[in-house]
Structure 1
Amino acid sequence: MAFFKRKLLFALLLLTSTALLKAQDFSSVKSIAERRVPWLAKSLKFSKIVSGEKDVFELSSDGKGILIAATNANAAAQGLGWYLKYYCNRSLSHLGNNLSPLSKLPVISEKVRISSSFQYRYALNYCTINYSFSFYGWKDWEKELDWMALSGVNLMLAPMGTELVWYNTLIKLGYTDAEAKAFIPGPAFTAWWLMGNLEGWGGPNSIAFMQSQAALQKKVLTQMKELEIEPILQGFYGMVPHDLNKKVDALKDAQIIDQGTWVASEFIRPAILVPTNDKFNVVADVYYDELKKLYGNDIKYFGGEPFHEGGKKTGVDITAVAKSVQGMMQKHFPSSTWVLQGWQSNPADALLAGLKKENTLIIELFGENTSNWKLRKGYGGTSFIWSNVSNFGEKTGLYGRLQRFLYEVYRIKQSPYNNYLKGVGIIPEGLNNNPVAYDLMLDMAWRKEKPSLEKWITDYTIYRYGSYNKDIVDAWKVFTQTVYSSPLDEKGKIVYQEGPSESIYCARPSLKVNPVSSWGTRKRNYDIKLFKQAVALFIKADKQFKNSETYQTDKTDFLRQVMADKGDRAYDELVKAIQEKDKKSIKDKGNVFLSMVLQQDSLLSSNHYFTLNRWLNQAVALGKGLPDANNILYNAKAQITFWGPDNKSFTRFKDYAHKEWSGLLSSLYYNRWKLFIDEAMNDKITPTTTFYDLEVKWAKEANLYPVKKITERQLLAIQKRILE
């Protein structure tokens, strides 16, 4: 055993030293160039500079190539990304790449020196781990980390692979194999387990699956180290199985607080082992030992917090809890930082009072709607990062309060709390949408002065599509006044909205769909006619950008939004016919509505970013060769439909992560609406339990919904009808 431990330690040290060497000589950044822009890679020269500022890069030309000097690998990667965007008019994104070769490299006439005024450029929400990354393989993660590095991200939430940490911990504590597996959720639901909202849902997982996730996480962490992106792993904050003191004799006198159920649902929440109880240290020691065995002992940041989104804490000394949780983190990882979520009333003032401020960092989540940094007076003088969620459930929809991003960040800079603002970041529940919103937020980290949104958008269109086009720029200016606006109410306050306006086509049918998902909205806080006119203007550039993946992807997305907007009127007319019991009108309006659902499906089939098949194929690839392959596919389908739990009458989470995707529209969504319309013809209103049965049946089927290709002629005809 001693030999094995020494061998494991040597392997970890070797990985660490190799990663550090790659970071120092920037070979990790060279590798990004070789993967993404091989036509540029051979002309790049990197060098290290010493500066009093932590994150600085310099760009210059020497007549033979492009010189990138930087203080570290992360700044060098941002320098590469900057050159690609603002000199080569090229970019990488989650919705298409514009990375085609240039015949001649742009020359930098004078050396450019840019530094970040922020210590941190942060990325990811717990939910992103599932809504975007549930079924990622290594190639997916490699691209993700390339994008993060090129965007300057240097702090990223990375709790992947925690399943095996917990399994090993519970086995060590005395749980059986089946009991340990019952605590851990399926691959599409780990985020809400890590946040203490549920346990076991979507599982159980096989040992082989958990081991494969741990192996993948090791590769991710190695790559992050090479790119100098600090990972935030999951800390131990007291979350334990709800039956811990019943399963483990040695912990039967542990002080456990039952946390009940989450959002008044059927989901049993994990319990909280009170951190001020001596048994907390026993479990924490085992947990951190198991984490170190898998992922090393040089982790500097930890997430996770007790009493997230509610939870019972009556009689608990919250300040003492904070000291204990942070104390155990620092016992195992000296000088580590506890990263907390600034969400709703979290973190409580009492919790903050017990923390070492120098080892605490708060991520303000919901910046597009709230100003908690001001209300909480800089979180009592605690370092924080300003970010925004913008997307919930990775729902399809155009949204992002761009002007708000600029206004709020620079307002903080001019406030008494400026010294506590340590960074900016993106924290969407899903990333495969609205690349403009994420680019702007991360770009601001490298701007000393607030940029003009109009100028920034013009530059964005050039690097997004590859060249300047007046129609595109003019269209985007209107987009910033419509779908990407920051609307104010009559009192001058920001209009509250959680993510994009939802599409009626994706709704579980009823006579009063509002909203499609429990916390969403169908309301359009923008002028839909003006937006439609801008889309028509954008499409005037179609011939010039026929071979541009980014342009064609955005065109699809913009047309989809116009079609979703039109769906609201068709739905209202259908409801009116049903309420008047006019059977002819029900049939006519119903047929129109169903044809619109299928037309939307056909439009989206023309671009793989908007297909169900892409998502399901990821799940199939992840499950290949594993005993739980079928369950992995089931997880993929359940998450985007009924979500959970197994309760016909409970509908709070239904369609929370709905998608306007080809394959999903023409199968489940179409069939739900057809059933509803057919029954309305017979004066019946379909009960929600019937839809639940349809959704579960659909999720259990093996169909991968291969893409049904349409011709260019068909696509042009659809485009014309949408813009009529």
Structure 2
Amino acid sequence: MQISNSLILLSLLSSLILCSSSSSIQESEAAIESLLKRLDSKRSPASVQEAAARGVLQRLLPTHLSSFEFKIVSKDGCDGRSCFRISNYKSSRRNSPQILIEGTTATEITSGLHWYLKYLCYVHVSWDKTGGIQIASVPKPGALPRVSDNVVIIQRAVPWNYYQNVVTSSYSYVWWDWERWEKEIDWMALQGINLPLAFTGQEAIWQKVFTEDFNITAEDLNDFFGGPAFLAWARMGNLHAWGGPLSQNWLDKQLLLQKQILARMLELGMTPVLPSFSGNVPAALKAIYPSANISRLGEWNTVDADPRWCCTFLLDPSDPLFVEIGEAFIKQQFKEYGDITNIYNCDTFNENSPPTDDPTYISSLGSAVYAAMSKADKDAVWLMQGWLFYSDSSFWKPPQMKALLHSVPFGKMIVLDLFADVKPIWKSSSQFYGTPYIWCMLHNFGGNIEMYGVLDAVASGPIDARLSENSTMVGVGMCMEGIENNPVVYELMSEMAFRSDKFQVKEWLKVYSHRRYGKELHQIEAAWEILHRTIYNCTDGVADHNTDYIVQFPDWDPTLHSRSDLHQENQMQKIPGIYRNRRFMLHEISSPLTQPHLWYDTQDAIAALKLFLDAGNELAGSLTYRYDLVDLTRQSLSKLANQVYLDAISAFQNKDANALVVQSQRFLQLIKDIDVLLAADDNFLLGSWLESAKSLAVNSDEAKQYEWNARTQVTMWFDNTKYIQSKLHDYANKFWSGLLQGYYFPRASMYFSHLSKSLSEDKAFSLEDWRKEWIAYSNEWQAGTEHYPVKAQGDALALAKDLYEKYLR
């Protein structure tokens, strides 16, 4: 009888839990529907959106402006959802449009345009830095292919297609002007992105808020803001003043640029996500408000906790001043931009755990963060990156997660499942305990250049999540740290916003290769079959951060460790959750030697490269082909260089001076040869990055500061001492011509010289002497002003063929 009663009690409890879960999900769904209606009411008029969509067409395909008719339609014609419809334009007039594209917003229209061009005209659209567009396959005006069905209707599978990481603004967008931003927003519109992060220019807003409302001086803000290339981390409270100060010129121009960005996003029917207050405050605020609960945070990746840039100040969300500042910030954004959104990003607890794991306290903090938004905007919705639940999972256990996620009304928080392509949190958290979330692909760290992807997971993951029991998924998203790499990955991920059913990636790639190069070639199709199952099918669960030895040269003493350490270290990389400290600490910085990430058989990739080379005569004039050829050759040679480096180390450990010379010279020659290869494509040039930085300066001092920021971010990154390199050195490494020859080559050369000297003089290798030499060189290079080319030189196909014969055959 007791057992029976216990079973009944358990059954009742289970039913209550299920009912509670079901109730919370229903509340969230209702809140999201209400939010969507409010956001729809904020959209630009139909005529404005239609004109904006025509603007995208004109910039993409100006010869065909009269071939298409665009029209905004209501959701009623799409079963109450967002969609686009493609049909043949019905008219008996001569020279009338051929194709009618209707959409619920301008972004739906441009998505429909892109869908038509992709699947009926075999067009390809990617970033200029990844080969650009392929439109040679589009028939002439008047000869466009007709839609075979009466009408093609494609609905969004989920309401939102989100875009950006909070650090993308520093790794990729930092030096952009309006011309580059306009291209990016066009790309976003064609990919169907309708929920982009809009973080540009927020320092100008903070300047007005802090100086006008809270008595902070301009000098105080010089110590608060980071330099242009490090703003993302100053915003998150990881550092202050590093690379600064910001000039008034920078602040004013960035605010103007933000207004242009927001205006275009709104014209296209997008919903921008604006920043909000996370608690990060200037040090001077503590003196002005001595009773406020302001604490100084611990050091973040500094070498010696230098107070000039270390240890920022955090205002506790429970302090009344938190709500006051948060409200003032959002109201100032209203004043500058108007009432344009209800969605605000805030990541108070990202890489910054609360002082206690008490769920009640955590809940109160979450409520206070939301109150700072909702007091200024009663309809505010908190968009939060879910990275903390992965990177600090030892703290964020179920009680703590629930406390934070349930600290605001259901439907008033949306979580970005930031790393769902590799480590989906929704599966282990009961759909974020009923909180709406967006399935996101992280993919890239530091803007590194490496061919890598999880195409099968991208093609299936969002569908599995959406169809799972009690799903609270409301969108898909791309949250890469850096863009302009691996175009195949980003095109597939964008398309998942419109994919309701599963499909064969292999077949999709056949069409993709046809579109990307403008031709069907059996060699290219075969190459992409190989790439699909190798480079673009990583399943080991490792966060791919490029640690190839050329771009992240090991800092270690090989006399203290043997090659046998390598196997153990490589296994450590494969343990889920081994990297839990920081977003930036996805790599080891101390001995023993780590192995670069390798998840495929390099011989397979070389076979794919051979097929690419075989197609060279057919595709020699294609910029998209040239980019992929250079990238695949670079990757193959870089992986080879990893082994050559290990051979050099083995020679040193075996005291074989001749073999050390042979292998170290081969490694150095590979750096030189890859540099020459990269120089043959405009998209792999250090000079472009540096010149874009200097182009934003209005005087020589700014030009020097901006160039230092640009050089430092891609090399040392953060602070160093005479003998200790930055903990973040090479985090944002790049395979760029100029950087290999001018920075990576001298560093490796110095190291091998010290190894050779150790053997020839029969003395112990001095790691400290090498560090002193190369760190001094690095700091000098960071402050340098020498020019690097901004135009490609050489024949990429001929160079790739020569290097294949030299190293890979």
Same fold (TM over 0.5): yes
AA aligned opposite 2:273? I
CA distance in 2, matches of 1:226, 1:584: 66
The answer to whether the Cα contact below 8 Å between 1:205 and 1:628 also exists between their aligned partners in 2 is no
The 3-state SS of whatever aligns with 1:552 is helix
C-alpha deviation, 1:61, in angstroms? 2.1
C-alpha deviation, 1:23, in angstroms? 6.1
Larger displacement relative to structure 2 (302-311 or 123-132): 302-311
Tell me what 1:68 maps to.
101
Tell me what 1:332 maps to.
376
The answer to whether the Cα contact below 8 Å between 1:131 and 1:394 also exists between their aligned partners in 2 is yes
Q: Does 1:508 align with 2:553?
A: yes
AA aligned opposite 1:679? H
1:498-537 correspondence to structure 2 within 5 Å = 498-510=543-555, 518-520=585-587, 522-537=596-611
Tell me what 1:277 maps to.
319
Tell me what 2:299 maps to.
261
Could you list the per-position Cα deviations for residues 205-238 of structure 1 after superposition, in whole angstroms to 9, with x for gaps in the alignment? 1011111111101000000001112111110132
Tell me what 2:170 maps to.
130
Tell me what 1:490 maps to.
none
Q: Does 1:395 align with 2:448?
A: yes
The 3-state SS of whatever aligns with 1:385 is strand
The answer to whether the Cα contact below 8 Å between 1:259 and 1:311 also exists between their aligned partners in 2 is no
CA distance in 1, matches of 2:47, 2:677: 44
Tell me what 1:458 maps to.
510
The answer to whether the Cα contact below 8 Å between 2:381 and 2:413 also exists between their aligned partners in 1 is yes
The answer to whether the Cα contact below 8 Å between 1:398 and 1:500 also exists between their aligned partners in 2 is no
Q: 2:139 aligns with which of 81, 88, 102?
A: 102
Larger displacement relative to structure 2 (691-700 or 307-316): 307-316
Tell me what 1:718 maps to.
803
Cα distance, 1:626–1:590 mapped onto 2, change above 3 Å: closer
The answer to whether the Cα contact below 8 Å between 1:307 and 1:313 also exists between their aligned partners in 2 is no
CA distance in 1, matches of 2:260, 2:48: 19
CA distance in 1, matches of 2:413, 2:41: 27
CA distance in 2, matches of 1:81, 1:410: 22
1:559-598 correspondence to structure 2 within 5 Å = 559-598=633-672
Tell me what 2:755 maps to.
680
Larger displacement relative to structure 2 (33-42 or 624-633): 624-633
Tell me what 1:7 maps to.
none
1:423-572 correspondence to structure 2 within 5 Å = 423-487=475-539, 495-510=540-555, 518-520=585-587, 522-572=596-646
Q: Does 1:48 align with 2:72?
A: yes
Tell me what 2:365 maps to.
321
Instruction: State the superposition RMSD in angstroms.
Output: 2.3
The 3-state SS of whatever aligns with 1:681 is helix
CA distance in 1, matches of 2:239, 2:46: 40
The answer to whether the Cα contact below 8 Å between 2:174 and 2:228 also exists between their aligned partners in 1 is yes
C-alpha deviation, 1:26, in angstroms? 1.0
1:146-225 correspondence to structure 2 within 5 Å = 146-172=186-212, 173-225=214-266
Could you list the per-position Cα deviations for residues 618-669 of structure 1 after superposition, in whole angstroms to 9, with x for gaps in the alignment? 1121224585221111111100000002444253200000011110001110
CA distance in 2, matches of 1:158, 1:720: 47
AA aligned opposite 2:292? A
C-alpha deviation, 1:718, in angstroms? 2.9
Cα distance, 1:18–1:99 mapped onto 2, change above 3 Å: farther
Larger displacement relative to structure 2 (143-152 or 193-202): 193-202
AA aligned opposite 1:499? D
C-alpha deviation, 1:137, in angstroms? 0.7
Tell me what 2:728 maps to.
653
Tell me what 1:9 maps to.
none
Identity %: 29
C-alpha deviation, 1:686, in angstroms? 4.3
The 3-state SS of whatever aligns with 1:42 is helix
AA aligned opposite 2:173? F
Could you list the per-position Cα deviations for residues 187-221 of structure 1 after superposition, in whole angstroms to 9, with x for gaps in the alignment? 11111122222222111010111111111010000
AA aligned opposite 1:619? A
Cα distance, 1:178–1:264 mapped onto 2, change above 3 Å: closer
C-alpha deviation, 1:450, in angstroms? 0.8
Cα distance, 1:362–1:312 mapped onto 2, change above 3 Å: closer
The answer to whether the Cα contact below 8 Å between 2:220 and 2:284 also exists between their aligned partners in 1 is no
Q: 2:345 aligns with which of 303, 306, 324?
A: 303
CA distance in 2, matches of 1:336, 1:99: 42
CA distance in 1, matches of 2:470, 2:295: 36
AA aligned opposite 1:327? A
Could you list the per-position Cα deviations for residues 368-425 of structure 1 after superposition, in whole angstroms to 9, with x for gaps in the alignment? 221210111111101000012111001110111111122322222332232x111111
Could you list the per-position Cα deviations for residues 243-275 of structure 1 after superposition, in whole angstroms to 9, with x for gaps in the alignment? 4212x1xx2111113222224653524322122
CA distance in 1, matches of 2:190, 2:409: 33
The 3-state SS of whatever aligns with 2:134 is coil
C-alpha deviation, 1:25, in angstroms? 4.6
C-alpha deviation, 1:470, in angstroms? 1.7
1:15-26 correspondence to structure 2 within 5 Å = 20-21=44-45, 24-26=48-50
The answer to whether the Cα contact below 8 Å between 1:23 and 1:225 also exists between their aligned partners in 2 is no
The answer to whether the Cα contact below 8 Å between 1:397 and 1:502 also exists between their aligned partners in 2 is no
The 3-state SS of whatever aligns with 2:121 is coil
CA distance in 2, matches of 1:417, 1:436: 31
C-alpha deviation, 1:723, in angstroms? 3.5
C-alpha deviation, 1:505, in angstroms? 1.1
Tell me what 2:158 maps to.
118
CA distance in 2, matches of 1:204, 1:56: 46
Tell me what 2:118 maps to.
85
Cα distance, 1:586–1:685 mapped onto 2, change above 3 Å: farther
C-alpha deviation, 1:500, in angstroms? 5.0
1:613-652 correspondence to structure 2 within 5 Å = 613-625=687-699, 627-648=701-722, 649-652=724-727
CA distance in 2, matches of 1:643, 1:133: 17
Tell me what 2:776 maps to.
693
CA distance in 1, matches of 2:429, 2:721: 39
CA distance in 1, matches of 2:82, 2:623: 32
Cα distance, 1:435–1:269 mapped onto 2, change above 3 Å: farther
1:348-427 correspondence to structure 2 within 5 Å = 348-418=401-471, 420-427=472-479
Unaligned stretches of 5+ in structure 1?
Answer: 1-15, 488-494
AA aligned opposite 1:53? G
Could you list the per-position Cα deviations for residues 535-565 of structure 1 after superposition, in whole angstroms to 9, with x for gaps in the alignment? 2112221111111111111111111111111
Larger displacement relative to structure 2 (154-163 or 94-103): 94-103
Give the length in aligned residue pairs.
Answer: 698
Larger displacement relative to structure 2 (261-270 or 507-516): 507-516
Larger displacement relative to structure 2 (698-707 or 206-215): 698-707
CA distance in 2, matches of 1:720, 1:681: 29
The 3-state SS of whatever aligns with 1:153 is coil
Cα distance, 1:540–1:574 mapped onto 2, change above 3 Å: same
AA aligned opposite 1:130? S
CA distance in 1, matches of 2:516, 2:613: 15
Cα distance, 1:147–1:660 mapped onto 2, change above 3 Å: same
Larger displacement relative to structure 2 (658-667 or 350-359): 350-359
CA distance in 2, matches of 1:20, 1:410: 31
